Amino acid sequence: MHKKEIERLLKAMSEITSRARSEGRDLTAEEQAILRTYQSEYDYHQKALDEETKAEETRKAAEALLQRTATVRDIFKSHGFEKEGEEFLKRENFTIEEAKSAVLDLITKSGAPSSSRITIGDSGEDKYRAAAADALVIKGGLELEKPAEGARQMANMSLKDLAAECLERGGQFDSATLRHMSASEVFDEITQRAYQPTSAFSAIMDSAVKKSLEEAYKEVPTTFQLFTTKGTLHDFKEDKDRTYIYGSGDRLLKVPENGELKQSTIDTKVLPTRKLDTYGRQFSLTRQAFINDDIGLVLTIPTTYARIAKETINEQVYDILFNNGKIYDGKVLFDKTNHKNLATTDAKPSQTSIQSMILLMGRQTHPVSGKRIMNKPKFLITGVGYQFALATLFGSRYVPGSANNDINPLFDNPLSKNIIEEPYLNTLADAITGSTAKNVPWFMASDPLYCKGIQVDYLDGKETPTIRRNEATPGTLGFSWDIYHDWGVFVADYKGIYRNNGAPISEE
C-alpha cells in the first residue's frame, strides 16, 4: 500500500511542477500548499515503508538463523556428534560450511573408515533439491515464474523415479537394485529414512509442499487486504490496544524566554482487545498416492487450505461489517447517535448518498477535545452489481439525467480509483431469512493515514500459513504435514468505517 501511495504522490507532484514549467510561470500559492500536503503524505508513507522493510528484513534474518541452527544441529547429530554440535552453536557467528568442515575434522579424528560414503550436503545437492522441488510443483499443476534450473526437465519424473534417484544419490542403493524395486518397496525405503536429516526426498517434498502453499496463497482473490491495516502480535495473550490522547495538552504552547515547559495531561482510552487464534489442519502423502504417482492430489491439499485460510480472514472482516455487532465501547459498530457512522437514509450508491457519506465522515470529532478531525474517504466497498452505475457516476462530467447538464461534483473523485466489489456481501444478504427484498449494505473506509478502521493482526507479522512435516501417526502409511495460521481481526476505530444499509441489488 505504501509503495503505491509513494508512486502516486511522486506522479502528482511531478505533474504540478511540470505544468508550471510548461506554462513558464512560478507555482501558485494553491499549488505550493498542495505540494506541501503531498510532501507530508510522502514523508509519512516513506517512513512507514522503511519501517516495514526493516521489520521484514529482521524477520527474514531471524528465520534464516533458526533454519541455519537446525541444519547445523542436524549435521552434527546425523554423524553422532550431538554434544560437539551444541558447543559449535555457542559461537557468535557460524555458517553451514564451517559446520561441515568441523564435522569432517571430527570424523577424521574419530577414525571413521575412509571408504564409507558420507554426505554432508553441498551446493550441488542444494541445487538438485531445489530443481526437484520445483519440478514437483510444476508437475502438480502450478506455474512458477522462475523455476530452478533443470526443474522443467525433471517434471516428467514419477514420484517413484525421484525417490529412487534420491536413494541412489544418498548411497543407500545402486541403480541396478533400484530398477528392480517396485514402487511399494521404494516407498517403504524412503519412509524408513523420512526423518533422517540427510533424507533428500523428504526435504524435496517439504519444499514442494511449502512453495505450493505460498504460491497459492498469493493468488487467492480476496479484498480485505485492500482497506484494512496490518498489525503484529508476538504471543497469544490478550493485548489491550491503548492509545494515549492528549486532553488539555493537545497543542504545543509558546514558551517565553527563560520560561518553563508546562506539563501536559494525558487521557488514556482503552481500545479493543487484540488476540490471536490458531487455525489449522493436517494432511498426508499416502502410500496409495505415491504408488499412483498422484502428486497433483498431494499439492492440491495445501493449496486448498491456503485458499480457505485467506478466504476465512476475508469473511471474518466482512462479517464484522455486515453483522454490526457491539465493539470495544459496548455499542454497535454502526449507529446514527453514538458513533455517527451510519447513513440516515438507506439507499444504493448515488450522487446524493455518496456525498452524504463523505460529509458524514467530515463531521467526526476528537473523543477528548471535541474538535473536528481530519478524516478523508479512500475506499468505496460494495457488493457485486453496482460496477456499471458507479463507472457512470464517477466518469461523467455532468450529472447523468439532469435537466441543465449540472456539473458532476463526483467526476474523477479519488474514490473512483479504490472501488472494492465483494461478492461475500451479496452472499450474506442472500442468507437473511424472512425477506424477499434483501438490502446489500455498502461502506466507505477512511484513508488509514488519517484513521484506521478494521485491522488484521498476525503472529510476528507472518501473513502466510506455516507448514511443517510431523512424525508419522502410528498405523498411518505415508508422510504427514501440519498446516496452521495465526491471526486475529478487530475494529481498531469506528471513525474509520461508515455504512449505508443499502438497497436490494437487482440480478437482471
Question: DSSP characters for 293-311?
Answer: T-HHHHHHHHHHHHHHHHH
Phi, psi of 321, deg, nearest 5: -65, -45
Phi, psi of 223, deg, nearest 5: -120, -10
Per the CB < 8 A criterion, the answer to whether 491 and 333 are in contact is: yes
**DSSP letter (8 states) at residue 498:** E
Beta bridge partners of 283: 481
Distance (Å) of CA 66 to CA 55, 59, 70, 71, 409: 17, 11, 6, 9, 56
Nearest CA-CA partner of 249 in 369, 367, 366, 364: 369
Nearest CA-CA partner of 389 in 414, 361, 421: 421
C-alpha cell, 420: 472494492
| Sign of the torsion formed by the C-alpha atoms of 494, 496, 499 and 505 | negative
Per the CB < 8 A criterion, the answer to whether 204 and 136 are in contact is: yes
Name residue 496's amino acid.
G
**DSSP letter (8 states) at residue 146:** S
Rg, the chain, Cα only? 30
**DSSP letter (8 states) at residue 262:** P
C-alpha cell, 111: 577414525
As a whole number of angstroms, the distance between CA 383 and CA 439 comes to 10
Beta bridge partners of 421: 382
**How many Cα atoms sit within 13 Å of 134 on the Cβ side?**
17
Residue 265: predicted pLDDT: 57
As a whole number of angstroms, the distance between CA 424 and CA 443 comes to 14
* pLDDT digit string (tens) for the chain, length 508 residues: 678 888 888 888 888 888 888 888 888 888 888 888 888 888 888 888 888 888 778 877 777 787 788 888 878 877 778 888 888 888 877 888 788 878 777 876 765 443 334 444 445 778 888 899 999 888 888 888 888 888 888 888 888 889 888 888 878 788 888 888 899 988 888 887 766 655 788 888 888 888 888 888 988 999 999 999 998 888 888 877 655 344 444 566 777 777 777 666 555 555 678 899 999 888 887 788 888 877 777 788 888 888 999 999 999 999 999 999 999 888 999 999 999 999 999 999 999 999 999 999 888 887 767 778 888 899 999 999 998 989 988 988 888 777 777 888 888 888 999 999 999 999 999 887 665 568 899 999 998 888 889 999 999 999 999 988 876 555 566 778 889 999 999 998 899 999 999 998 876 6
Phi, psi of 305, deg, nearest 5: -70, -30
Name residue 145's amino acid.
E
pTM of the model: 0.69
C-alpha cell, 279: 487455525
As a whole number of angstroms, the distance between CA 317 and CA 490 comes to 8
Per the CB < 8 A criterion, the answer to whether 119 and 203 are in contact is: no
First to last CA, the chain: 35
As a whole number of angstroms, the distance between CA 74 and CA 71 comes to 5
Per the CB < 8 A criterion, the answer to whether 480 and 470 are in contact is: yes
Name residue 89's amino acid.
L
Cβ–Cβ contacts within 10 Å for residue 377, how many? 21
Nearest CA-CA partner of 167 in 196, 124, 136, 138: 196
